[in-house]
Structure 1
Amino acid sequence: MNKPPRKKNPTLGIAVFIVVAVLLVIATLFYNAIKEKREFDSSNAPAVSISSGAAAATATSAAATAMKPASGTAQ
C-alpha cells in the first residue's frame, strides 16, 4: 500500500546551476566594464585650463550680481 519513494529529478538542479552560472558571468562582465570605464575616465580626464577656470569665476560673479536688486528699486 505504501508508494515507493520518488526519485529525485536531477534536471531541476542542473537548470538552477546553469542559471546561476549565467548570472554570475553577466555580473562579472558588468563589473569589469564599469571598473575599466572608471580607470579610463580617470586616466583621460581633461586638464582644467586657466581660461575655463576664469570663465567659471566670471559666470559665478555674474550670477551673484544678477541676484542683487538695483539701487533705488522697491523690494
Structure 2
Amino acid sequence: MKSGQSFLITEHGRPVAKLNPLEGPTLEDLIELGVITPAARKYDPAIDKPLPNPDNIDLVAALLADRAAARY
C-alpha cells in the first residue's frame, strides 16, 4: 500500500473489495486550508484522569435513569 499499489480482495474467485492507497489532502494541507486547527499544546494524559466519585454512585444506573426519564 505504501508504494501506491491497489489490492483486489476476492471470495471464491469473485472480487468483493478493493484496497487503494489514500488520496487527497494531507494533514498539513488541511491545516493550511483552515479545515483543521492543530493542537495548541502536546497531549497531557494527566488531564484525562477520571474524576473522583466519593459517594460511590452507580454512574451507569444514574445515566440510564436520566435517559429513561427524558424519553418522549
Task: Sort the TM-score into its range (normalised by shorter chain).
Answer: under 0.3
* TM-score normalised by structure 1 residue count: 0.23
Which of the pair has the greater relative contact order for Cα pairs under 8 Å at 6+ separation?
Answer: 2
* TM-score normalised by structure 2 residue count: 0.23
The structure with more radius of gyration: 1
Q: Per residue, is there more strand in 1 or in 2?
A: 2
Q: Per residue, is there more helix in 1 or in 2?
A: 1
